[in-house]
Structure 1
Amino acid sequence: MIVLGIDTSLDACSVAIVRDGAVLTHLQEQMTRGQAERLAPMVREAAQRAGVVFADLDRIAVTTGPGSFTGVRVGLSFARALALAVGKPCLGVSTLEALALEDGEDGARAGLVETPGASYFARYENGAPTVAPCNIERGDHVVQLHGAALRGPGVAVNAAALALRAAHLDPVRYPPDPTYLRAPHVTLPAKP
C-alpha cells in the first residue's frame, strides 16, 4: 500500500510517501507561513523522489488540527482535492493523535499543541483516547498526563509516521474534517 502523508497544521510543511511499511521519502520545511505555496511543489518533489505517480497512491492522510487555522485548511483542501482527482480515500487524523501516537500505540501517550491563543491536549492508552482532544488552559496538561509519554509543544508532526499509521486506519472512522476545539475568536459588528 502506498500512502501520502501531509501535515501543515503547525509550524512546518511536511510530506512523506510510504510503501508497505517503508518510508520512500520524507520532506519537511519549518515555516509559520507559506504552506499554501510550498505544499504542492513538495508533494510533487516527494513523488519524484519516491518514483511514484499520483495514480499509484492508495490513500492520502492529512492532519485535521488543532493548529494554525490557515495551515489546517491548506492541508485539508489539498489532500481532499488530490484524493478526489485520483479516486482514492482521504483520511484525516487529529494533530494531537498524530503527535501522541507517532512512535506507536502501546502504553500511555499524550499530545500537546500550543498556539498563541490556546492550548490543546489529548491522552491515549494503547491507541484509544482516555482524554479526548480538548481545549485546556496552558499548563493544565500536567495534571492529566498520569505517566503518559508527551509529544509537543513545539514539535512538528512527522508526516512519515502519519502515513505509516494511516495505512492501517479505517477511512470511515477517520474522515478528513477539520478539528476545531474552540469557538471562532471573531467579533461580528452589531446590527444597526
Structure 2
Amino acid sequence: MILAVDTCLAASSIAVLDGDTVRAARSEPMTRGHQERIAVLAREVMGEAGVKFPDLTRIAVTVGPGSFTGLRVGLSFAKGLATALSIPCVGINSLEALAATAGAPGFVAGVLDARMGQVYLQVFDGGKALMAPDALEVGVAAARLAELYSGGPATLIGSGAPLLADVLPEATVLTPAFADPVAVARLAATRPAPIHSPRPLYLRAPYAVAPAA
C-alpha cells in the first residue's frame, strides 16, 4: 500500500496505490501554498481511499527538480510520515515522473523550463534512462536530445517540451503542469527499499544569495 506525494511543480498531489489498484488520487493546481495544503489533502485522499495511515507500507515522494520551496515541503512531509510509521520512503525525480505520466512507448524526454535559457532534461527509451537528470542550456539540451534519439515514436513532456520541439518535429509534445501522482506511486513500487532517506535533487543553485557583509 503506497502513498505518493508530489509538490515539486504546480500542484499538490496525493495518490494511494494498493498493488495495481488505484484507491484514490487527487491533484490540486497551485504554485504556492503547498505547505498549508499537503497534509490536509493527504488525510482527505486517504479517507476517500478507505485506508488508514498504519495500513501504508511505503511512501513515495518527488524530490525535484522543481520549485525549491515546493519540493522541500513534500519531502519533509513524506519523510516525517515515513519515520512516524517506520516504513520506507522512496524518492522519485520529477523528470522521471513526467516521463511515466506520458505513458508513451519508445523515446520519452522529461523537460522542464528552468528559466534563464535553461531546461532540466532527462531522456528515457522504453522506460530505461539514457542520461542522468541535468540542467542544460537550451542549445546544449537540443544537441543532447538529437544525439540520443535513434528513431521511432518520440514524446516530449513537461513545461520545457516546446523549447525542444524543433529538434524532433514528429514528436508528440505534452505540457502538463505537474506529474500524475499515480505514476509516482507505480515507479516507487518497482524500487527496492532504500537504505537512506531521499534527498532533494537540486540541479542548480537557488537564485537567492546571502547579502554581502
> What does residue 17 of structure 2 align with?
18
2:199 to 177, 181, 190: 177
* Rounded Cα–Cα distance in structure 2 between residues aligned with 1:22 and 1:142: 38
User: Residue 96 of structure 1 contacts residue 111 of structure 1 at CA under 8 Å; is this kept in 2?
Assistant: yes
One-letter code aligned to 1:171: A
Q: Post-superposition shift, 1:140?
A: 4.8
Matches within 5 A, 1:39-58: 39-58=38-57
Matches within 5 A, 1:64-83: 64-83=63-82
Matches within 5 A, 1:1-192: 2-103=1-102, 107-117=106-116, 118-138=118-138, 140-145=140-145, 146=149, 148-153=154-159, 154-155=175-176, 156-172=178-194, 175-191=197-213
User: Residue 103 of structure 1 contacts residue 161 of structure 1 at CA under 8 Å; is this kept in 2?
Assistant: no
One-letter code aligned to 1:137: E
TM-score, L = length of structure 2: 0.81
One-letter code aligned to 1:150: L
Q: Post-superposition shift, 1:150?
A: 1.5
Higher helix proportion (structure 1 or 2): 2
Q: Post-superposition shift, 1:116?
A: 4.0
* Cα deviation code 1:28-61 (max 9, x no counterpart): 1110101111100110001100011010001010
* Rounded Cα–Cα distance in structure 2 between residues aligned with 1:105 and 1:88: 31
* Rounded Cα–Cα distance in structure 2 between residues aligned with 1:120 and 1:106: 21
Task: Name the SS of the counterpart of 1:61 in structure 2.
Answer: strand
* Rounded Cα–Cα distance in structure 2 between residues aligned with 1:79 and 1:86: 11
Moved more, 141-150 or 92-101: 141-150
User: Residue 55 of structure 1 contacts residue 86 of structure 1 at CA under 8 Å; is this kept in 2?
Assistant: yes
Aligned residues with identical type, % of pairs = 43
Task: Name the SS of the counterpart of 2:132 in structure 1.
Answer: strand
Unpaired segments of 5 or more residues in structure 1? Answer: none
TM-score, L = length of structure 1: 0.90
Moved more, 58-67 or 128-137: 128-137
User: Residue 64 of structure 1 contacts residue 93 of structure 1 at CA under 8 Å; is this kept in 2?
Assistant: yes
- Count of matched residue positions in the alignment of Structure 1 and Structure 2: 190
Q: Post-superposition shift, 1:119?
A: 1.9
User: Residue 92 of structure 1 contacts residue 174 of structure 1 at CA under 8 Å; is this kept in 2?
Assistant: no
Task: Name the SS of the counterpart of 1:122 in structure 2.
Answer: strand
* Rounded Cα–Cα distance in structure 1 between residues aligned with 2:115 and 2:10: 12
* Cα deviation code 1:104-144 (max 9, x no counterpart): 58532210111445420000123332121000124654433
Moved more, 113-122 or 82-91: 113-122
Does the C-alpha gap of structure 1 residues 55 and 159 become closer, same or farther in structure 2, counting only changes over 3 Å? same
Unpaired segments of 5 or more residues in structure 2? Answer: 160-174
Q: Post-superposition shift, 1:183?
A: 2.1
One-letter code aligned to 2:80: A
